């Protein structure tokens, strides 16, 4: 069966000329499983004069999921968390009722030339958990299970696959796999009733269920069926998904909610600086 949809990226400048490829939300597919937002940044070489820091900004109603292939960044938030993010680790920040965070170059990389490459996804929280207490969890690369077979190496970042279970805790059934495939190798994904899935290559083309998928393009897979992913030239790609959202979500700037009124309240709270502050940081990004 052919794939359900191809989503092509839109380029966005998130500050200081730092361009990202944005895949979600899109039309008509606004989410895949719980994921309502998908940004791919890099690979790009950051030079000494570049300022790609993302200053303090707020979130509600979601969890951010940050994963690097190369480089490093420093996460700080209004809970007091300070975490260096490096390749292979999963960093899961639950915004819930509200959190403020920044993403900056680590001090040891400032004024140097280095490469940065990664993905940031947002998972909308189920309605009963939209106002849960904010939290931050770092899972180091060594704690995430790996699976290898005939030219494929896979890391189960979130959820379960290949009879392996990620230790990352989620609020709903969620899937996130990082796959490195050698040329012409096929990955068979078994059928998964009730689960939405998509595949995205960060470097080379794929063939998903017989459909050519260019790099930097998301293929939304047909639901409830087995899928085959082929990397003709070899590729690094991710599979994402999970159980469908329990209703519509409004995504406005950095806020996600099932309630438009809650979005308006978050706007007012941020405008009046009532959402907390990051210790030692005094900048903040105003509402658009």
- The average pLDDT across 211-230 equals 96
With cut-offs at 50, 70 and 90, classify the pLDDT of residue 1: low
What average pLDDT score do residues 75-92 get?
98
Q: Is the pLDDT at 18 greater than 90, yes or no? A: no
The whole-angstrom separation of Cα 37 and Cα 134 is 19
What's the rounded Cα separation, in Å, for the pair 171 and 62?
10
Domain ranges of the chain: 5-242
In angstroms, the CA 255 to CA 122 distance is: 10
**Tens digit of pLDDT for each residue in 68-82?**
999 999 999 999 999
CA distance 15 to 79: 24
CATH superfamily of 5-242: Jelly Rolls (2.60.120.10)
Identify the band that residue 134 occupies on the pLDDT scale cut at 50, 70 and 90: very high
Q: For residues 230-253, give the mean pLDDT.
A: 98
Higher local confidence (pLDDT), 79 or 51: 79
DSSP of 180-238: EE-TTEEEEEPP-TT-EEEEEESSS-EEETTEEE-TT-EEEPPTTS-EEEEETT-EEEE
Q: What percent of the chain clears pLDDT 90, i.e. is strictly above it?
A: 95
pLDDT of residue 15: 75
Quote the mean pLDDT of the chain.
96
- Taking 70 as the threshold, does the pLDDT of residue 57 lie above it? yes
Q: Phi/psi of residue 109, each to 5°? A: -100, -10
Q: Answer yes or no: is pLDDT of 124 > 80.
A: yes
Q: State how far the alpha carbon of 97 is from the alpha carbons of 15, 37, 217, 282, in Å.
A: 26, 19, 33, 21
Q: State the pLDDT at residue 270.
A: 98
pLDDT tens track for 139-173: 999 999 999 999 999 999 999 999 999 999 999 99
Residue 208 in this model has a pLDDT that exceeds 80: yes
Question: In the predicted model, is pLDDT for residue 2 greater than 90?
Answer: no
Region 213-228: mean pLDDT is 96
**Residue 84: what pLDDT?**
98
Question: Of all residues in the chain, what percent carry a pLDDT higher than 70?
Answer: 100
Residues in the chain: 288
Work out the average pLDDT over 184-203: 96
Average pLDDT estimate for 269-284: 96
Q: What is the mean pLDDT of residues 113-124?
A: 97
Kindly tell me if the per-residue pLDDT of 118 is higher than 80: yes
């Amino acid at each position: 069966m052919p794939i359900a949809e191809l989503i092509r990226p839109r380029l966005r400048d998130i500050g200081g000329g730092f361009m990202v490829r944005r895949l979600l939300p899109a039309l008509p597919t606004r989410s895949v499983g719980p994921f309502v937002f998908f940004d791919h940044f890099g690979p790009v070489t950051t030079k000494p004069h570049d300022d790609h820091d993302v200053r303090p900004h707020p979130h509600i109603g979601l969890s951010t999921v940050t994963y690097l292939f190369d480089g490093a960044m420093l996460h700080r938030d209004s809970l007091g968390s300070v975490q260096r993010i490096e390749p292979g680790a999963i960093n899961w920040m639950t915004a819930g009722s509200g959190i403020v965070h920044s993403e900056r170059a680590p001090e040891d990389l400032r004024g140097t030339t280095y490469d940065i490459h990664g993905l940031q996804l947002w998972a909308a929280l189920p309605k009963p958990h939209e106002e849960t207490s904010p939290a931050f969890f770092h899972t180091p690369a060594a704690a995430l299970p790996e699976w290898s077979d005939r030219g494929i190496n896979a890391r189960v970042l979130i959820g379960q696959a290949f009879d392996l279970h990620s230790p990352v805790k989620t609020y709903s059934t969620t899937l996130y796999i990082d796959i490195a495939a050698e040329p012409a190798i096929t990955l068979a994904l078994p059928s998964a009733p009730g689960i939405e899935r998509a595949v995205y290559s960060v470097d080379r083309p794929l063939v998903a269920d017989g459909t050519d998928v260019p790099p930097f393009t998301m293929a939304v897979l047909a639901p409830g069926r087995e899928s085959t992913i082929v990397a003709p030239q070899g590729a690094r790609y991710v599979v994402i998904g999970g159980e469908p959202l329990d209703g519509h979500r409004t995504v406005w700037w950095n806020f996600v909610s099932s309630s438009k009124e809650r979005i308006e309240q978050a706007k007012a709270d941020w405008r009046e600086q009532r959402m907390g502050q990051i210790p030692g940081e005094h900048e903040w990004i105003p509402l658009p």
